Chain A
C-alpha cells in the first residue's frame, strides 16, 4: 500500500501548494502581477507563529489566528506601499515584477537580520500521531492539510461568487476601468485581494509548520515558486484550477521522492511547468483568452 500512502502524503503537501497558489492566482487575475513576494509571506507567517508560540507563549489557537492576522496586515501594507502607485499609474508589467522581487528580497533579508539565517524549530502543533486504516498508515498532518485546504476553497468560492466584495473583485479583474465607472473602489478590492491571498498563505504557513517544523528565512522562495507553478498548471486566475494544480504538483513531487530520487523533485516540478507551457499554456482549467488590441 506504499503507493496510496505516497499519494495521500502528496495530497497533503499539495494542499499547502494549493493554498499558496490561490493567492498567486487571485492577485494575478486582478492586477496581472506575479507577486514574487507571496512566497515570502509564508515565511512571515511561519516566523509569526514561531514568535507567538515560543517567545510570547500564546496558546495554539491564538498563535494561528495571530499569524493569519499578521499576514493579512502585511499583505495589505505591502500592496499599499510598494504596488499601488505603480498599479494606478499603469506602469509596465516589468516594473511591477521588479518591485515584487525587491519586496521578496527585502522580506528575506530582513528576517535573516532579525532571526539569523540558521533554521528555527517550531514546537509540535496538531499532533495526532499516525492514522491507521487496515494496512494503510497515514500521518495525521496530511489529512489535516487536505481537509483544511478543501474547507478554505469552499469558503473562498463562496466569498468570491456570492458576496458583494467578491463581486467587486470579479468586476475589477474583468475590467478595472469599467468597474470604477460602476462605482466600485478598485483600490479597495485590490487591497482586499492581497489581504485575502496573504491570509491564505498564512494558513498554508500554519500547515507547513505542522508538517515540517523547520523554518528558515529563505523557505518561502522555492515554496512560493512551486506554488506559482501549481497556479500556472491549474490555469492562472482560476480558483479550482489553483487547487487542482497544487494537488497534482504535490502528488507528482511525492511520487518522485518515493520512486525516483528526492534530489530530482525540483527538476520534475519545473519540467512540469515547461511541459504545461508547451502543450496547454492556459493551464488545466484555464480559459484561452484572446488578446484585445
Chain B
C-alpha cells in the first residue's frame, strides 16, 4: 500500500516515541496473545483460599488476591480484555466517526448540518456518563462494554475527519479527480482518506488509551467486567478498600494500565510523524 511504501524512507522519523511506544504496545499484545502460555495458573479457577493475600514472592511474582488467585496470571489474562476493549471500541468509533465526518465534510449541505448537530450533541454529553447509561441498560459484560464505548466516543474522530476534509477540498487534486470522472465515494476513499489518516491514527491510538481507562473506570464502578473475570479495572475495583493493607492488589493492575496507555500514546505520536508525507521531503 502506498502508505507503507512512503514509510520505508531511509531515515525512520518518529524516533524514540515510536520505538518505546511500539515496544510497550507490542509487549501488551504479546502478553495478551500468549496468555495461556505465559500465565502460571488459570486466572479464574485456580483459587486456593489457603494462598489468600500472599505478598509478591518467588512462587507468586505479583502476589495473590483475596481468593488466593495468582495476580500475575490475572494481569496476563487481563491484557486480553483490556486490549480487546481498547482496540475493539476504537475500531467501532473510527468507523462511525470517520464515515460521518468524511461524508459530512465532502458533501456539505443538509447532511453536514445533521452530522454537526449530532456531533455537538455527543460532545455535550459526558461520554462516560453516556456509556454508563448504556451499560445500565445492556447489563455488564464484554460485548455491552464494547458497544457502550464504541457508540459514545466517535465525536472526536468525526470532528477531525470533517475538518481535514474541508481543508483538503480546495486542493487541486480533489478537483482534478472530479473532473477526471471519479465518483464521490471513490474520491473520498482513495483521494481524501489516505491524506487525512495522520491525525486520525493519532486520535485512534489515543482513543484506545482512553477506552482502556474507561473500561477500568466502568469496571471499577461495577458496571464493566464483573468478577471473577480478570480485567485490570475490575481488579482495581476489588482492591480499592485495601490499598493500604494489601497494596500489591492495586499496584500491578494500575501499572499495567499505565504502561499500556502510555505505550499507545507514544505510538500514536510516532506514527503521526511517519505518516506525514512532508517529513520525507527533502526539497
Check if A and B associate: no
Report which A residues bind B (CB closer than 8 A).
Answer: none
Report which B residues bind A (CB closer than 8 A).
Answer: none
